[in-house]
Amino acid sequence: MKNFLLSIIIIFLLSSANIVSQDLTQKYNSLLDRYEFYDSYGNLEAYAKNNPLLKRIEYYDSNGNLLKTEKRNPVLNRTETYDSYGNQKSYEKNNPLLNQKEKYDSYGNQQLTKRWNSLLERYEVYDNYGNMKGYYKYNSLFDKWDYFNSAYW
């Protein structure tokens, strides 16, 4: 009976290990002066560089192709995202009333909300329906931000 109960617990623990999985890791590369994004296997997926001449952040895939750019709009007090062709795709702004960042598409429809959870010390990402999609957690041991997503979200 003890072995049966122990095997049930082990099966439960092994099956629940798949519930939360690490999707991306963001790490700063001081040698190349850029942020790099790795998948859970350690493969470079993309990187981001600051372009001080155009005052924007440029995101590239692992082959060096431009994916998108982000630029701060001081007039509207928001950060705007453009695709590789220069078309605006979304924007992000702070909501000081609710103490959160909100992301909207180019038509003004809310897509995501990012909130700080001080109890768990992480940024939680919610969709426009209020469902949690994932969270960012700082890994002080490796000096990087990890993004976690769940199969149930």
Structural domain contains residue 14:
no
From residue 81, give the alpha-carbon distance in Å to each of 46, 78, 99, 103, 137. 16, 10, 21, 10, 23
Range of the domain at 78: 23-150
pLDDT for res 143: 84
Instruction: Identify whether 92 is part of a domain.
Output: yes
Instruction: Give the C-alpha separation, 45 to 64, whole Å.
Output: 10
Domain count, the chain: 1
CATH of the domain at 71: 2.40.160.200
Is 89 within a domain? yes
pLDDT of 49: 94
Residue 21: per-residue pLDDT: 52
Low-confidence ranges of the chain (pLDDT < 70): 1-22, 150-153
Whether residue 47 contacts residue 34, with contact meaning beta carbons closer than 8 Å, is answered with yes
Residue 17, in any domain of the structure: no
- Distance, in Å, from the CA atom of 120 to the CA atom of 124, rounded to the nearest integer, reads 10
pLDDT given at position 68: 93
pLDDT, residue 69, reads 94
Q: State pTM to two decimals.
A: 0.70
Cα–Cα distance, 137 to 145 (Å, whole number): 6
Could you tell me if residue 5 is inside a domain?
no
The confidence score (pLDDT) of residue 18 equals 41
Assigned domain for 11 exists: no
Closest by Cα among 37, 40, 17 to 29: 37
Residue 68 lies in a domain: yes
Residue 38 domain-assigned (yes or no): yes
Per-residue pLDDT, 8: 46
Phi-psi map region of 130: left, alpha, beta (phi>0 left; psi -120 to 50 alpha): left
